Amino acid sequence: MIGRPRRSLASCASTNDEAASWAREGAPEGAMVVADAQTKGRGRLGRVWHSPPRENLYLSIVLRPAVDTAKVPPLTLAVGVALAETVASLGVDCELKWPNDVLVDGKKVAGILCEMSGASGKISHVIVGIGVNLNTEQFPEALTLIATSLRRAKHGELVDRDAFVDTLSLRLDEWYARFIAKGPTPIVDAWLTHANLTGRDLVIRNGTEELRGRAEGLDQDGTLLLRTRDGTLHRVVAGEIANAT
């Protein structure tokens, strides 16, 4: 289902915006937008996503899950598992970082941005945006210490974008079907097998607020469980891991 139909664009502002517009026009579930470049690609928390032309993967998918809006968050984790499996199929070791990143050698190689539209607890559509640094070798100075690419991990070997999309689509098909049929439990369990999270000391930032504690895994809705020094167990719904030890 994933990737059928597909629109391929030379350039656009944002594949998420293109997919959302298509969804409002009635695009079927699984419809995919892939672009060679983005002029206003974005990541989580409104950050700019580095989108040089013809180097990497920028795609968005229209999904219409028949679940309540409150049950959508673990979908990001399912996409993360599919991405981790696709990266691993290239012989590259990777790690999932809560809630939406894929790391290689501690640096970001891929990110996920899910944007939902709906009302009164009912979902119209969910746009799943995925950016993967496939072949970039030189990053802007601001990203040099925090970003990498699969080409770098493969010692300069080019990664075939079409083959990557084909494998990713199959993995997404599998994990999305599992999410719909069985709920979040198998998704969370699989996500944790690709993440070095439990037992690590974390600093979580959410805006100007900061929370420090030790990770005790994820709740079944994908919420991060963090125990602070005073023994309190916090359910972290939103935030960013600033560092981990």
Give tens-digit pLDDT for 189-244. 999 999 989 999 999 998 888 999 999 999 988 899 999 999 999 999 888 898 76
What amino acid occupies position 218? L
Per the DSSP assignment, residues forming a β-bridge with 119 are 122
Mean pLDDT of all residues in 4-13: 96
| Residue 193 CB partners (closer than 8 Å, separation 6+) | none
- 118 pLDDT more than 90: no
Average pLDDT value for residue range 91-109: 96
Assign 145 to helix, strand or coil: coil
How large is the average pLDDT for residues 45-58?
Answer: 80
Domain boundaries, the chain: 6-193, 201-244
The residue type of 60 is S
Which is nearest to 235 in space by CA: 243, 245, 221, 194?
221
| Rounded CA separation 98/121 (Å) | 25
- Is pLDDT of 121 > 90? no
Assigned CATH class of 201-244: mainly beta
CA-to-CA distance for 168 and 87, rounded, in angstroms? 9
Is the pLDDT score of 45 beyond 70?
no
- CATH code for the part of the protein at 6-193: 3.30.930.10
Q: If pLDDT is split at 50, 70 and 90, which confidence band does 245 have? A: low
Q: Would you call 227 helix, strand, or coil by DSSP? A: strand
- Element spanning 163, H or E: helix 161-182
